[in-house]
Amino acid sequence: MSVHTRRDVAVRYAILVAASVLTLAPLVVVAIVSFFPPGTQLDGVSIPPHPTFAAYAHAWRFGDFGQALTTSAIVAIPVVAIVTTLSVLAGYAFGTMRFVGSRALFYVILAGMTVPFNVMIVPLYFDFQRVHLTDSYWGLIVPESGIYLAFGVFWMRAFFASVPPSLIESARLDGASSLRILWRILVPIGKPAILTLMMLTFLASWNEYLVPLVMSSSNQLQTVPLRLANFQGQYLTDVPSLAAASFIVAGPAIATYVATQRTFFRGLLQGALK
């Protein structure tokens, strides 16, 4: 290996290490703080002399995060299922088929990515109130599915458009129907892109704040971001409990990312082909 090559490799590793430190440092600090006893007044960053999980127990008990985690899961899982199913079907049609108005229809769907959802939430609330969907799980699932669907269609269309046309044409010559081609051929080779879409949708739904805030007023329908905001208002000076509550809320999202990180990066590369 030449000197120039070794220097380039060293620079790359230095950049990666610096980026990793900047990314992980806040998480490490919050993790350290969460092991102090609840109510501990902190002045700067320090190591707890006697680490304890008392702050986690305190946050779980008084923040009622068990109900919030259940509600977030009940909302996020159907949102992932709806967005993934419709995105795969629509992306397959837009990416591999040509029909009258396909380009115009695709641009209409893309408009959903450009219009800020904040400007639509109030009229949407009154529409859902008229059909008695507010303060219900469907009042959270349907709007969130609509928010993320445009990106899902764009993502899956990019993948299906990158598939060699000869692969689809040969399957058609063998007598395979469109749905059979999708299910038997394209879905298996597109698993990284599909799983990446599922993970991105899950994380977005899990962290969604505006839709639950506007669409529900019941404590039973509060998702984890709302419950964390309420907990923060009640225990603003209890830094260890706030840190523990933050980890309780972020735990499922972190676990999902860690479990799927290899597939996630493969899906990012596939989705960026076109």
Extents of the domains making up the chain: 3-54, 64-271
Q: Give tens-digit pLDDT for 29-88.
A: 888 888 998 888 877 777 888 889 999 999 998 888 988 999 999 999 999 999 999 999
Percent of the chain with pLDDT over 90: 32
C-alpha to C-alpha distance for 120 and 111, rounded to whole angstroms: 13
The CA distances from residue 225 to 5, 52, 230, 250, in Å, are: 47, 25, 9, 10
C-alpha to C-alpha distance for 197 and 154, rounded to whole angstroms: 11
Q: Please answer whether residues 153 and 63 qualify as being in contact, where contact means their C-beta atoms are separated by less than 8 angstroms.
A: no
Q: Please answer whether residues 58 and 40 qualify as being in contact, where contact means their C-beta atoms are separated by less than 8 angstroms.
A: no
Q: Give tens-digit pLDDT for 157-211.
A: 988 988 888 888 888 888 888 888 888 888 888 888 898 899 899 999 999 999 9
**Tokens of residue 8, six digits:** 């380039």
C-alpha to C-alpha distance for 243 and 253, rounded to whole angstroms: 16
Q: Give tens-digit pLDDT for 20-46.
A: 888 888 888 888 888 998 888 877 777
Classified by CATH at the fold level, domain 64-271 comes out as MetI-like fold (1.10.3720)
By 3-state DSSP, what share of the chain in percent is helix, strand and coil, each rounded to 5?
80, 0, 20
What pLDDT score was predicted for residue 264? 62
Q: How many Cβ atoms are within 10 Å of 222's Cβ, its own excluded?
A: 22
Confidence of residue 239 (pLDDT cuts 50, 70, 90): confident
**DSSP annotation string for 122-190:** HHHHHHHHHTT-TTSSHHHHHHHHHHHHHHHHHHHHHHHHTS-HHHHHHHHHTT--HHHHIIIIIHHHT
